[in-house]
A = this chain, B = another copy of it.
Amino acid sequence: MSLAVVGSVALDTVDTPAGKNEEGLGGAATFASIAASNYTDVSLVGVVGTDFPPEHIQLLESKGIDLDGLERAEGKTFRWTGHYHDDINLRDTLDTQLNVFEHFHPKLPEAARNADYLFLGNIHPALQMEVLEQSSSKFVALDTMNLWIDITKDDLLKVLGKIDALIINDEEVFELTGERNLVKGARLIQKMGPRIVAPKKGEHGCLLFVDDRVFSAPALPMEQVADPTGAGDTFAGGFMGYIAHQGATDFETLRRAVIHGSVLASFTCEKFGVDRLAEVGQKEIEARYAEFVELASF
């Protein structure tokens, strides 16, 4: 089955303890689409400016990603600049230039409208709702961020009422619910709509709440993280890609989808931007999945 991915396509400038990356290919839809392309057909919906480098288009096309929904608008591509601390879990946003993203309204081409699975990357919840209204998907996952929780909570609550799965940082569970306890917070979010809530805990892995059940997934302990930018989006793409490939959303499938998401996210962290994610194939994914089995078995 196929997957539609909606979100930002960006040029990211980051510096981390491992070095610096200037205007690298980034954005939630980019990471999620490349990750998902390992499992299923992907239609990417987003916008870039006229300055968007053609080699990035070629990379996405080489992954078999359908770019009919990638609009090219007059103006500059969305840019984000961030700085990571020595403690790589901490980062500051130094600059955000929305550029063509500012007036973007997603228009889903036919393949994206008809995709059975839909991932709504982290954009304004009113735009996420516009996408939902165009889509005939049977399973929708959504990501969001503290900004939208703060300034567009009503819009966010509306869209939460219409989705199946929320993928969210643990800190954002608190911001959304006011509840410090992650279990209570996830249960409160389920009451807002999604029967599936996946709070990501960075280097501590991820929890998965499905109805009244819970799964705890480890993260791969890593000696070196070059650049964690996009790891969360990669996770979401791997998660949704695996689900779309299986064509199922039972608890067992969802658990394994979380591990596949974690596998892909661990690759993303190994190099800057999409450099590592874009080069892995089936064999490496399977080998790392086996590492997760070894890591978590008892």
Contact = CB atoms under 8 A, between A and B. Distances in A.
A76 interface: no
Nearest to A292: B298
A263 to B, nearest CB: 11
B298 A296 contact: yes
B87 A215 contact: no
Interface residues of A, number: 35
A255 B298 contact: yes
A183 interface: yes
A259 interface: yes
Interface stretch (A28-36, A158-166, A201-209): A201-209
A217 interface: yes
A32 B215 CA distance: 28
A214 B297 CA distance: 11
Interface in A251-298: 252, 255-256, 258-259, 293, 295-298
A266 to B, nearest CB: 12
A216 interface: yes
Given A255-B297, A258-B298, A298-B258, A218 B221 contact: no
A222 B297 contact: no
Given A295-B216, A296-B298, A207 B181 contact: no
B221 A207 contact: yes
Nearest to A219: B216
Nearest to A214: B221
A184 B215 contact: no
A105 interface: no
A86 interface: yes
The 7 closest A-B pairs by CB, nearest first: A216-B218, A204-B204, A255-B298, A183-B223, A183-B221, A87-B180, A216-B295
6 contacts: A181-B223, A183-B221, A184-B223, A187-B223, A216-B295, A252-B298
